[in-house]
């Protein structure tokens, strides 16, 4: 098997353009599992862990955006620098696998696999993140909702590298919660990220593992954003319960080896209501 190890972004996209059927290898925590189990035939690999441009992060203070390179590992996202700006992403990162997985597994790899159970994805959806892609033809960015198009399916073209994400920095509470069969080393049975934008007076929510893609609950978001008392930052108990039910109604869960559809729907009802109450502790 041919393995290339580019040391710059230009070299990486040039290699990918010359061989678009090559497989991109970041931390390898998804890819090597697939390769070792024989689920993926790999002819050639482009290993991107030595591309410095992909391993940076930074803040655009004018646009109030955070940039995170696709090669940034979870262990970095959990540090105060990023965690203080997008706490929900740090929370999601803390729930991924084990310390070893978090040390090498990357945001770009979570996006590359694009499983509905990927822990960072409900956060990227709820925060309206943009995914950046590069090829020899140039760069483009798409909203997360345009990037993830199905179960493990994305709008990335074969000759494109995911270079990173930009995430709006919001004022307001945000959090990520996941339900699984145990507390650690677990793939989500259901997950939820709720984010409040107090400046825009809106509540957003992204649900994971309850549909083929991450589900934004547009109707429930609009409804609850109109019910919150934004001057007191409070919401009634009845509205908290109703919000949970509306989010559950938006879910499109299935029965599979991890859970039943009914359990998943109930789980996101509870997660959504609980997160809303945490966001607005005053009833």
**Which stretches of the chain bind ligand FAD, using CB under 6 A?**
23-31, 33, 48, 70, 95-97, 101, 105-106, 108-110, 112-113, 118-119, 161-162, 185, 187
Least distance (Å) between residue 259 CB and ligand FAD: 15
Q: Which one, 162 or 228, has the nearer CB to ligand FAD?
A: 162
Q: Which is nearer to ligand FAD, 94 or 277 (CB)?
A: 94
Q: Are 169 and 85 in contact (CB under 8 A)?
A: yes
3-state helix, strand, coil in the chain (%, to 5): 35, 25, 40
Which contacts (CB < 8 Å, 24+ apart) does range 264-271 have?
264/189, 264/190, 264/209, 264/210, 265/210, 267/179, 267/189, 267/190, 268/190, 268/192, 268/207, 268/210, 269/244, 269/245, 270/244, 271/177, 271/179, 271/190, 271/191, 271/192
Cβ closer to ligand FAD: 25 or 276?
Answer: 25
Q: How far is the CB of 250 from ligand FAD (least distance, A)?
A: 21
Least Å distance, CB 10 to ligand FAD, is 15
- Nearer to ligand FAD by C-beta: 93 or 202? 93
In the block, tokens 């760069």 appear at 139
CB-wise, 25 or 126, nearer to ligand FAD? 25
HSE, side-chain direction, 13 A CA sphere, residue 137 = 7
Q: How far is the CB of 50 from ligand FAD (least distance, A)?
A: 13
Closest distance between ligand FAD and the C-beta of residue 161, in Å?
4
């Amino acid at each position: 098997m041919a393995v290339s190890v580019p040391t710059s972004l230009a070299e990486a996209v040039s290699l990918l353009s010359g061989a678009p059927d090559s497989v991109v290898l970041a931390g390898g925590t998804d890819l090597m599992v697939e390769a070792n189990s024989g689920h993926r035939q790999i002819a050639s690999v482009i290993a991107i862990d030595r591309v410095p441009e992909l391993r940076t992060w930074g803040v655009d203070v004018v646009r109030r955006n955070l940039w995170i390179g696709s090669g940034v590992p979870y262990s970095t996202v959990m540090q105060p620098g990023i965690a203080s700006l997008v706490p929900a992403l740090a929370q999601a990162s803390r729930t991924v696998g084990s310390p070893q997985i978090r040390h090498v597994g990357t945001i770009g790899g979570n996006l590359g696999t694009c499983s509905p159970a990927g822990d960072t994805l409900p956060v990227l959806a709820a925060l309206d993140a943009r995914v950046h892609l590069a090829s020899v033809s140039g760069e483009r960015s798409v909203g997360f909702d345009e990037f993830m198009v199905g179960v493990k399916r994305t709008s990335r073209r074969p000759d494109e590298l995911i270079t990173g994400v930009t995430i709006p920095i919001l004022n307001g509470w945000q959090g990520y919660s996941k339900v699984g069969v145990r507390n650690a080393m677990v793939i989500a049975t259901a997950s939820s990220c709720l984010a409040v934008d107090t400046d825009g007076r809106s509540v957003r929510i992204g649900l994971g593992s309850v549909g083929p893609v991450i589900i934004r609950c547009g109707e429930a978001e609009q409804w609850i954003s109109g019910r919150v008392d934004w001057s007191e930052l409070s919401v009634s108990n009845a509205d908290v319960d109703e919000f949970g039910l509306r989010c559950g109604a938006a879910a499109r869960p299935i029965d599979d080896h991890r859970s039943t559809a009914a359990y998943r729907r109930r789980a996101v009802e509870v997660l959504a209501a609980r997160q809303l109450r945490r966001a607005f502790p005053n009833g």
